[in-house]
Amino acid sequence: MSAFVIDAFEFCRLKEQAEGELPVAEMARLAGETVDRAGSIKWSLAGGADKLGHPQLKLSVSGRVNLVCQRCLTAMPFEVSSESVLVLAKDEESADAIEEVLDDESIDVIVGDEAFDISYLIEDDALLALPVAPKHDVCPAQEVAGPAATEKVSPFSVLKNLKR
């Protein structure tokens, strides 16, 4: 059994904590968003309960991945950093009920399990933290071409070039 499988309800009840690091290459969906499948995602998970006593998981993920810039199509390093709160429900029906009671868009209600694979959660969280259309602030190609091609230019014409 994978080290990432926990009993989600026991984990919350006992207020357990866990942390680790997951290579990007082992997360197919996340790896597919990168140029080189390099890097890894650090994660930490803390069990507990919300104000109303629902079992609750707090998950943080962080790490650097190399996305593809949508403008110049070269690698663009990106720092993933995200924290999320997940309330556990026993089944879909009670998940809907809890969601209604909480009425909070920032909290996700998910169906927990005695054999709950948290690597899936970690990957989901990292994916949600990625920009929809990643772009360099200044693409590397422009950086090289810019100053050499235009010496002593006013800041305004530089701005004009950037807009183009």
The residues near 2 (Cβ < 8 Å, ≥ 6 apart) are: 117, 119
**72 is an interface residue for Zn ion by CB under 5 A:** yes
Instruction: Find the binding residues for Zn ion in span 124-153 (CB under 5 A).
Output: 136, 139
Q: Which is nearer to Zn ion, 100 or 137 (CB)?
A: 137
- Interacting stretch for Zn ion, rule CB under 5 A, among 1-9, 66-74, 86-94, 102-110? 66-74
| 71 part of the interface to Zn ion, by CB under 5 A | yes
Single residue of 67, 69, 86, 89 touching Zn ion by CB under 5 A: 69
The answer to whether residue 35 forms part of the interface with Zn ion (CB under 5 A) is: no
Q: What is the DSSP string of 110-148?
A: EE--SSEEHHHHHHHHHHHTS-SS---SS-HHHHHHHHH
Which residue stretch of 15-23, 48-56, 67-75, 90-98 sits at the interface with Zn ion (rule: CB under 5 A)? 67-75
Sheet holding 55-68, edge to edge: 17-23, 40-49, 55-68, 75-89, 107-111
Q: State phi, psi for 88 to the nearest 5 degrees.
A: -95, 140
Query: Could you tell me the smallest distance in angstroms from the CB atom of residue 138 to Zn ion?
Result: 8
Q: Shortest gap between Cβ of 134 and Zn ion (angstroms)?
A: 8
Q: Smallest gap, in angstroms, from Cβ of residue 62 to Zn ion?
A: 23
SS3 153: coil
User: Which of 5, 68 has the CB closer to Zn ion?
Assistant: 68
Beta strands in the chain (DSSP E): 5-6, 17-23, 40-49, 55-68, 75-89, 107-111, 116-117
Supply the minimum distance, in Å, between the C-beta of residue 74 and Zn ion: 6
- Contacts with Zn ion by CB under 5 A lie at 69, 71-72, 136, 139
